[in-house]
């Protein structure tokens, strides 16, 4: 079983829609959860970082962690065409020895 599973999509939504991106993980020792956005031909950029269960909000983005279900989500409100990118989830344990990444979900927001 892979450490992190992420639906690769692709996901296509109209502008203004609410987008839900999800990952599941296998090891309950994982404590730190991140979401990255990667535009085509660019390196990933950190969007959200959280280490506890619950929600963390930053503008139109909300990261949600459910440790009991080993499930993490990223919600994008009022999606914009500029949100079109690949979104990767990443997790690590408290040693940070290795980061595990999902394969990424490709999102297209249609004007």
Q: Which spans of this chain sit near another protein (rule: CB under 8 A)?
A: 31-32, 34, 36, 41-46, 49, 51, 88, 90, 92-104
CB of 11 to another protein, least distance (A): 16
Task: Please identify, using beta-carbon distances, which residue of 75 and 100 lies nearer to another protein.
Answer: 100
Residues written for the chain: 111
**Smaller CB distance to another protein: residue 17 or 62?**
62
Nearer to another protein, 14 or 43 (CB): 43
* Rounded least distance, CB 45 to another protein, Å: 7
CA distance 40 to 77: 22
**Residue 42 C-beta: closest distance to another protein, Å:** 6
Match 């994008």 to its residue by tokens. Answer: 76
Reading the block at residue 4, the tokens are: 């992190």
Integer Cα distance of 100 and 58 in angstroms: 23
CB of 69 to another protein, least distance (A): 21
- Return the number of the residue (17 or 24) whose C-beta is nearest another protein: 24
Q: What is the DSSP letter of 84?
A: -
Question: Helix, strand, coil: what percent of the chain each, to 5?
Answer: 5, 55, 45
């Amino acid at each position: 079983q892979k450490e992190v599973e992420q639906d690769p999509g692709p996901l296509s939504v109209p502008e203004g829609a609410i987008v839900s991106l999800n990952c599941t993980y296998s090891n309950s020792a994982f404590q730190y959860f991140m979401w990255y956005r990667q535009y085509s031909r660019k390196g990933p950029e950190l969007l959200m970082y959280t280490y506890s269960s619950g929600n963390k909000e930053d503008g139109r983005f909300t990261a949600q962690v459910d440790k009991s279900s080993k499930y993490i989500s990223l919600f994008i409100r009022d999606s914009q065409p500029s949100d079109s990118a690949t979104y990767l989830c990443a997790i690590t344990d408290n040693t940070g020895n290795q980061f595990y990444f999902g394969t990424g979900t490709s999102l297209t927001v249609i004007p």
